[in-house]
Structure 1
Amino acid sequence: MNGNGTQQIKAMFQRISAAISAEKGRLSELDGAIGDADHGITMARGFSAVTRRLSGTDCETLPPSEIFQIAASTFLDSVGASTGPLYATAFTDAAQVLSGKAALGASEQAGIVEAFKSGIKRRGKGDRGDKTMLDAWIPAAAAAQDARERNAAPAEMWEKILRAAEIGCESTKSMVAARGRALRLGERSLGHIDPGAASAVIIIAAMRDTFGEP
């Protein structure tokens, strides 16, 4: 997608919000198998609040890092439970990575994915294999780093990132939860895709649609 970084980040959040809203029923259904059946509703509420806040803000005068800071505080205010702090930290880390940046090339885009992963991992203190959203974000970040090292074009990079996230999400079906609300289910969490990993894939797909356009 052509344009400055601020426009890209604003468009990214709009696409994420629309995609999450369209899938909120499926996400809550996944959550119903191992959690409180509210993940889709919660995520839709958070991203909808972010897009409303950004639409009412004169974003053109702000750098990309400030858009992420606004998103972080808005998401945290709108979403309780564990998901709010996790993504608020992800957005804050992304803001730090983009400090001083106006344009977002492939390297900066990869940095956003890596920042999301590091923020969620640090705040949630989880890891791959715990049956959480990190099972999508960790391989996605690894794919982003690999693409950056190879100087891959954005379109190729985002396809790799999304594919890695999809495979990671699918792998949660064969896991027993080690963290999160599904932990209490023990072996009964087997056979179910983690809703947080599923929503991460939706987010990454929306990011791909934003940044991966020629």
Structure 2
Amino acid sequence: MTQIDSAFLIRFFRLASEQLEADRSYLCKLDGAIGDGDHGTSMALGFAAVVERLRRPLMPEPPTPDAILTEAAKAFLSEVGATVGPLYASAFLSGAKCLAAGPLETRQIGTLIRAFADGIRTRGKAETGDKTMLDVWYPAALAAENACGDGAALADILTAITEAATAGRDSTGPMIASRGRAARLNERSIGHIDPGAASAALILSVLPEVIL
């Protein structure tokens, strides 16, 4: 794909939904160590709801990228009432604003990733280093932006994203959680990968299949 347009987003949500469903048990196991154990189910159901919503006729027709992300936010929030629901709804609404003027080139994928991260940050009041999904979303955005700015090939930009996402996910292991339910564990959260960071890395891992 050459543009981050409506077709891109529909394919992205479908592939991300499939990936999250495949790794639902893995994410629940991670969450069981420091949370309620339902993160995998919440993410799988939330993205499945988005995919289902996007199968229906959207207004305006044909659906614009910002309309798709707005519908995605509504679907996710309607399905997932837990903390992650408002966070990803905010991410998608922030992405909608990013694409309000029209599609971006796929080389600018970092711009959309950063928009998602900004939405999550605004809603959740977290920062990188707090042992959350932002420890994946922001490093991935920065890696994409730097690679694009350096004139890297699209495949190399995508590699930079996935490598940064994986490193960001793994970086949460030694951290002490300061946000969410895991924060009540204090030092006992050390040694556990944050489930939100793990799901974010899984979502970003589908980008090469979406684009190439």
Q: TM-score, normalised by structure 2?
A: 0.94
Equivalent residue number for residue 97 of structure 2:
96
With 119-128 and 1-10 compared, the bigger mean Cα shift is at: 1-10
Q: CA–CA distance in 1 between the matches of 2:26 and 2:57? A: 31
Shift of 1:103: 5.4
The sequence identity of aligned pairs, in percent, is: 45
Q: CA–CA distance in 1 between the matches of 2:207 and 2:80? A: 21
Q: CA–CA distance in 2 between the matches of 1:105 and 1:17? A: 20
Q: CA–CA distance in 1 between the matches of 2:126 and 2:151? A: 30
What aligned pairs does 1:180-191 form with structure 2 within 5 A after superposition?
A: 180-191=180-191
Shift of 1:32: 0.1
Equivalent residue number for residue 78 of structure 2:
77
Runs of 4+ in 1 over 4 A off after TM superposition: none
Equivalent residue number for residue 201 of structure 2:
201
Q: Kindly tell me: are residues 34 and 69 of structure 1, through their superposed partners in 2, closer, same or farther at Cα, counting changes over 3 Å? A: same
Contact 2:110 2:142 in 1 (8 A): no
Shift of 1:128: 1.2
Q: CA–CA distance in 2 between the matches of 1:102 and 1:129? A: 32
Contact 1:114 1:145 in 2 (8 A): no
Equivalent residue number for residue 64 of structure 1:
65
Q: CA–CA distance in 1 between the matches of 2:94 and 2:4? A: 20
What's the CA shift string for 1:157-196, capped at 9, x where partnerless?
1110111111011011101111111001111111110000
Alignment gaps of 5+ in structure 1: none
Matched residue pairs, number? 211
Q: Kindly tell me: are residues 86 and 4 of structure 1, through their superposed partners in 2, closer, same or farther at Cα, counting changes over 3 Å? A: closer
Q: CA–CA distance in 2 between the matches of 1:38 and 1:132? A: 16
What's the CA shift string for 1:120-162, capped at 9, x where partnerless?
1111111111111111111111112212322333221111011
Q: CA–CA distance in 2 between the matches of 1:101 and 1:150? A: 24
With 161-170 and 3-12 compared, the bigger mean Cα shift is at: 3-12
Alignment gaps of 5+ in structure 2: none
Equivalent residue number for residue 35 of structure 2:
35
Equivalent residue number for residue 177 of structure 2:
177
Q: CA–CA distance in 1 between the matches of 2:56 and 2:121? A: 31
Contact 1:114 1:144 in 2 (8 A): no
Letter matched to residue 123 of structure 2: R
Q: CA–CA distance in 2 between the matches of 1:106 and 1:168? A: 21
Equivalent residue number for residue 135 of structure 2:
135
Equivalent residue number for residue 17 of structure 1:
17
Q: CA–CA distance in 2 between the matches of 1:120 and 1:201? A: 15
Paired residue secondary structure (2:206):
helix
Q: TM-score, normalised by structure 1?
A: 0.93
Equivalent residue number for residue 125 of structure 2:
125
With 49-58 and 184-193 compared, the bigger mean Cα shift is at: 49-58
Letter matched to residue 16 of structure 1: A
Paired residue secondary structure (1:61):
coil
